[in-house]
């Protein structure tokens, strides 16, 4: 007893569909190649643009990094000078503790000010109600 799946397909249909399938496959492959080439071209263009911009801004970035490092060293020296200046009236450990606490409080104040200046989060926009009748019947998140 043979079923429909055991019987071979008629060869006449293969003769008709094989050339069409082959042409469709070729066209799909050409379209894929064109899309792949277009995406690669765009990625290459973006890469060239980023490299060009990085080369142009490199001296400025180095200068800003040096300025940031010198600023940190200067602030550390100011703090050290404050500790030594306060040490003339108090013990050295207590003056270091007071200057450290003052710097931590200053940093906390700057962080609080920065947080207060953050833009408020935008309002949550509710999703529009659907008018499709199938969604009224079955919803995937309803238990």
Q: Which residues of 67-77 are buried (b: 16+ CB within 10 A; e: fewer)?
A: eeeeeeeeeee
What is Dmax (Cα atoms) for the chain? 109
Supply the Cα-derived Rg of the chain in whole angstroms.
Answer: 36
Q: How confident is the model at residue 8 (pLDDT cuts 50, 70, 90)?
A: low
The pLDDT of residue 31 is above 80: yes
- Residue pointed to by tokens 């469709």: 24
Per-domain residue ranges for the chain?
A: 11-113
Prediction pTM value = 0.47
pLDDT for 66-78, tens place per residue? Answer: 999 999 999 999 9
| Predicted local confidence at residue 76, as pLDDT | 92
Label residue 57 by pLDDT band (50, 70, 90): confident
């Amino acid at each position: 007893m043979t079923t429909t799946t055991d019987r071979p397909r008629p060869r006449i249909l293969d003769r008709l569909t094989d050339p069409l399938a082959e042409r469709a496959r070729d066209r799909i492959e050409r379209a894929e190649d064109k899309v792949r080439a277009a995406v690669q071209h765009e990625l290459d263009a973006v890469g060239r643009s980023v490299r060009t911009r990085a080369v142009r801004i490199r001296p400025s970035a180095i200068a800003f990094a040096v300025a940031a490092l010198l600023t940190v060293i200067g602030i550390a020296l100011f703090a050290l000078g404050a500790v030594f200046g306060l040490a003339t009236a108090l013990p050295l450990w207590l003056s270091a503790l007071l200057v450290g606490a003052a710097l931590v409080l200053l940093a906390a104040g700057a962080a609080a000010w920065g947080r207060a200046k953050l833009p408020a989060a935008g309002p949550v926009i509710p999703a529009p109600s659907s008018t499709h009748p199938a969604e009224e019947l079955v919803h995937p998140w309803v238990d």
